[in-house]
Amino acid sequence: MASSIFSDWTVWSDSPILDAISLKETLDGGQAFRWNALEAGAFEGRWNAHVVRIRPSVTCDHLEYAIPKTACPKASIDALNTYWATGIDYSALTDQLPWRSDPVIRTAIEAFPTLRILKQPFEECLFSFLCSSTKQVPQIKAIHEMVALRLGNELPDGSHALPTWSQIASGGEAPLRDAKLGYRARYINQCAQVIVERPGWLASVEQMPTADAREELLRLPGVGRKIADCVLLFGAGRLDAFPIDTWVQKILGQAYSLKDWNLNQLQQFAQIHFGQQAGYAQQFRFAAARAGKLRL
C-alpha cells in the first residue's frame, strides 16, 4: 500500500515493550494471519475494521504506529490496546513460569524474552483457526486474503476485512472453495449457519469459563479440541488453554520425555507443570522449536 495513504508515524505511548525478535514472532508465528512484514522491521496488520502499521521506535522503547488518514485515531488506539492486551503484565506472567527449574522453558524465554499473546477478535479467531488445519502460515494468510476480497467489507486503505459470520452464511460455500479451503469450506459454511441462527451465542461463549466455552465450541462443525483451544487462547485471552497438535505433541514428547503419553495425559501434565499460564508457556516452546532453539 502506498505510504501516502497512511498517517505519519506516532509513538504509541501504551505499547508493550518488545524486542525485534519477539515482535516478529508474536505477529508472524502462527497466532494471527493478517500481519505482513514491511521494510525496516515494520508490520502491517488488519482486524475487524482496523488497519494499522507498527514498528519499533528509534527514539524510545515504545512502538510507533501509523493508520490510514481516513481512520479515527482514538478508535484505532483503543483497538490497538485491546488487540495487544496492554493491560496485562506479561513480564510478571513470564516470571511465574517454571523457568528456574525447567531448562526447556528457560531456553525458550531467553530466545523470545518479550513474546506476547494477542487478544484477537473472537469471531475472527474462530474463522482463522478453522482455516488453519493442515496448512502452513503462508497458505493460511493467502486464504484469508482471498476470502476477505470475495466476502469482506472494504477497509480505509482499499483492502478488505474478513467477512462476518453473517456474510459468510450469505455467501455460501462456493466462495470459500474458490479460496482453496477444500473440505474446510463445508465446515465453515455450516458453522456460519449455526452462528447466524443463534444471535449473541458466540459473544456469550467468549465470556464463559474456559471449560464451558471449550465445550460449546466443540459443538460447532469441524471444531476439535486443538481448534477450540487456539480460539480460546488467541481470541479470548485464556492463557490456561493449551492447544496440542502433532507438532506440539512432538515437542512435549522429546523435551519432557513424554513420548508415550496420550493427549489427555499431556493436557494434565501441562496444567500441573505450567498452571494457569500453560498456553503462554506453550507459545514460548512452539516459537523456540520453530527457531531451532530446542533439541528435538
Q: What is the 3-state secondary structure (H, E, C) of 195-242?
A: HHHCCCHHHHHHHCCHHHHHHHHCCCCCCCHHHHHHHHHHHCCCCCCC
Answer yes or no: is pLDDT of 296 > 90: no
The share of the chain scoring above pLDDT 90, in percent, equals: 91
- pLDDT above 80 (res 1): no
pLDDT at 230 over 80: yes
> Average pLDDT, whole number, for the chain?
95
Residues 126, 224: Cα–Cα separation, whole Å: 12
pLDDT tens digits, 249-267: 998 999 899 999 999 999 9
pTM metric for this prediction: 0.95
Tens digits of residue pLDDT in 169-185: 999 999 999 999 999 99
Do 64 and 10 touch, CB atoms closer than 8 A?
yes
280: Cβ contacts below 8 Å, ≥ 6 apart: 90, 93, 94, 97, 117, 239, 274
Residues 123-160 pLDDT 10s: 999 999 999 987 899 999 999 999 999 999 999 999 99
